[in-house]
Structure 1
Amino acid sequence: MRNVVVLMSDTVRPFELAVYCEVFGTDRTDAGVPAFEFAIASARPGVPVPTFGGLTVTPAAGLARLAEADVIALAPPAEPVRTVDAAVTAALRAASTRGARLVAAWSAAFTLASAGLLDDRTVVVPPVLADQLTDWFPRVRADPSARYVDDDPIFTGAAIDVCLHLIRREHGRAAADAVAQGMLAGPPRPLSPPRRPDDDIAALLDWAAVNLHEDLSVEVMARRALLSTRSLGRRFRAATGTTPYAWVLEQRVSLARQLLESQPDLGVEEAAGRVGFSSAALLRQHFQRRFGCSPTKYRERFAP
């Protein structure tokens, strides 16, 4: 997660835009935070976009910039929108299809909903906008009580909270704390992803999360849920948006990262066993793929 672009509409709320610029556009490499390739884009590059208080911002990049971004952070418009430009919709859908993360601070969730990317998802919007969101987009669930929701690859919520969470998730607690300190903000507050309505799968996820060291093959999980492997795969994807294998792998790598951050004396081999990998080599393989470095290098950079 090194290439970030902010997408602006025809109007913009300056606070959330400034948060994106602070988190991703400020060089904090001296504090151990990775450098980001950062740009601000719109469907009409070079055209000034008005904000509150008479300020204007002129995006330099066009929609083509979205095609190379790891993260697309949507700046909330001054007022919620019900429809978006067809070119914007196409660019966002293409980015989502290829696996880019989409971040929507507050009312920017309306933009994603307008593009059809929030159907059957739970998102965070301010309480005053929750009813309007669900009225306009009945397939979207609004949670006005949370600060952010991590429904990878969609992240919604309060700008500071959701951005710091994403930094911590991708680059570790130390990097997120350094960004928070630089912004004079508090550390990121961990929240659980929203629970989807399938109670059987929810119970299975709860069980699997505390038994990552066990055999969590599709067959084992299907027996646990009293389902056929085909039914499990179908219901699991409907509930989580991914496959059982991918979900277990993500949980194992994430737990290994937490162990490496919090237990400096823990060996990589032992960490691999605790999270369910058969060998340290397998952990290193998936860790490299997920974070771009080995567990040892990650620990050197981010562990206290």
Structure 2
Amino acid sequence: MPSLAVVVTDGIPFFELAIPCHVFGFDRIQTPPDWYDLRVCAIGTDSTEPARTGPWFHTHTPYGAEELVTSDTVLVPGSADVHGDPPDELVAALLAAHRRGARLVSLCSGAFTLAATGLLDGRTAATHWMYAALLAERYPAITVDPSVLYIDHGDVLTGAGSTAGIDVCLHLVREDFGAETANSLARQLVAPAHRPGGQAQYIETPLPERRDDSLAPVLQWAAERLHRPLTVADLARQAHTSPRTLVRRFHAATGTTPLRWLQAQRIARARELLESTDLPVDRVAELAGLGAAANLRRHFTRVLGVPPVDYRRSYRAARVG
């Protein structure tokens, strides 16, 4: 059972704290029996007083720095003051956890806390787009990307703001328990099953002007037909619009192009099949809509860094271990 510590400091934003508590802290249908051992750890506060979370709530927890240091994953939901420094106790605990091999994760303004440890120096990091310039100014050794949802370096992961925190948490579930579990959880959360980290976090037109302008039916239609050859013209016909209009609406709604979205969905489908079936690689490629096995290997390796066969072998070895 992987242990996961969520950091609470006085004044932390409530929404970013609520996201990991909701995703990791509840028993749900179809979650594995070895689900996360979640502990909310208060740092930098008087042990006799609860931490304030936002202007209305207080967090009572018996856990502190000791449980943080010994956790497999430490998640920093946000920073109470992006212009100030985090508590020295928290910085020391994060560094100690990292030395032990823990994975450190930040949501939104939590990137400022990870930046204070020095572990982001020389790396690219994500945060809420509103804080990107300030993070780059305060920590010039970090390359700040204001456009992406999250960036995963393996030992350190940084995410963008607000609902992008759900994408980060689902990404962690996907890494720890596989695509099938992450997709099942996404359905329970009524959230997108997989949004790649490189997808834009800021969209110029976040809501359609008309209720019937949503692309959701088209995306669902395409997701159910990934094994078929799909073109922009096919999607446009399903949306009852022209290809040019579809591309414009697609970018406004998702921050990417139809073909890039399809490619990401097909890689995610291939990953799920590799994890949950014994199908040969050429059959996985066919069902995922990637054609021949060579095409699957090329795209899969580009996105995940390992060939499909090696990914299946390492995934199963990790699950057995």
Give the TM-score normalised by the residue count of structure 2.
0.62
Contact 2:9/2:80 (8 A) holds in 1: no
Aligned counterpart in structure 1 of residue 147 of structure 2, from 145, 153, 167: 145
Q: Secondary structure at the match of 1:78?
A: coil
The residue that corresponds to 2:181 in the other structure is: 175
Aligned counterpart in structure 1 of residue 319 of structure 2, from 275, 286, 292: 292
Q: Residues 108, 138 of structure 1: CA spacing in aligned structure 2 closer, same or farther, 3 A cutoff?
A: same
Amino acid aligned to 2:93? A
Aligned counterpart in structure 2 of residue 136 of structure 1, from 110, 135, 138: 138
The residue that corresponds to 1:40 in the other structure is: 40
Separation (CA, whole Å) in 1 of partners of 2:153 and 2:51: 30
Separation (CA, whole Å) in 2 of partners of 1:175 and 1:283: 17
Separation (CA, whole Å) in 2 of partners of 1:152 and 1:48: 32
Query: How big is the shift at 1:178?
Result: 2.0
Contact 1:10/1:77 (8 A) holds in 2: no
Query: How big is the shift at 1:187?
Result: 1.2
Query: How big is the shift at 1:78?
Result: 3.4
Contact 1:83/1:111 (8 A) holds in 2: yes
Separation (CA, whole Å) in 2 of partners of 1:174 and 1:255: 9
Does residue 1:165 correspond to 2:179, yes or no?
Answer: no
Contact 1:82/1:110 (8 A) holds in 2: no
- For these two proteins, the number of residue pairs brought into alignment is 229
Separation (CA, whole Å) in 1 of partners of 2:37 and 2:92: 23
The residue that corresponds to 2:104 in the other structure is: 102
Does residue 1:187 correspond to 2:193, yes or no?
Answer: yes
The residue that corresponds to 2:78 in the other structure is: 76
Amino acid aligned to 1:143? D
**1:48-70 CA deviation, whole Å, 9 max, x = no partner?**
12223421112320100012211
Name structure 2 gaps, 5 residues minimum: 200-267, 285-292
**1:108-146 CA deviation, whole Å, 9 max, x = no partner?**
000011121210111111222111101111101111111
Q: Residues 97, 24 of structure 1: CA spacing in aligned structure 2 closer, same or farther, 3 A cutoff?
A: same
The residue that corresponds to 1:202 in the other structure is: none
Q: Residues 192, 54 of structure 1: CA spacing in aligned structure 2 closer, same or farther, 3 A cutoff?
A: closer
Q: Secondary structure at the match of 2:30?
A: helix
Amino acid aligned to 1:25? G
Query: How big is the shift at 1:37?
Result: 0.7
Separation (CA, whole Å) in 1 of partners of 2:87 and 2:81: 16
Amino acid aligned to 2:189? M
Give the TM-score normalised by the residue count of structure 1.
0.65
Contact 1:9/1:75 (8 A) holds in 2: no
Amino acid aligned to 1:173? A
Aligned counterpart in structure 1 of residue 92 of structure 2, from 60, 77, 90: 90
Q: Residues 184, 33 of structure 1: CA spacing in aligned structure 2 closer, same or farther, 3 A cutoff?
A: farther
Contact 2:4/2:39 (8 A) holds in 1: yes
Q: Residues 159, 285 of structure 1: CA spacing in aligned structure 2 closer, same or farther, 3 A cutoff?
A: closer
Separation (CA, whole Å) in 2 of partners of 1:114 and 1:47: 25
- Aligned-residue CA RMSD in angstroms? 3.3
Q: Residues 192, 97 of structure 1: CA spacing in aligned structure 2 closer, same or farther, 3 A cutoff?
A: farther
Contact 1:84/1:115 (8 A) holds in 2: no
Separation (CA, whole Å) in 2 of partners of 1:190 and 1:53: 33
Separation (CA, whole Å) in 2 of partners of 1:111 and 1:138: 15
Kindly, what percent of the aligned residue pairs are identical? 34
The residue that corresponds to 1:234 in the other structure is: none
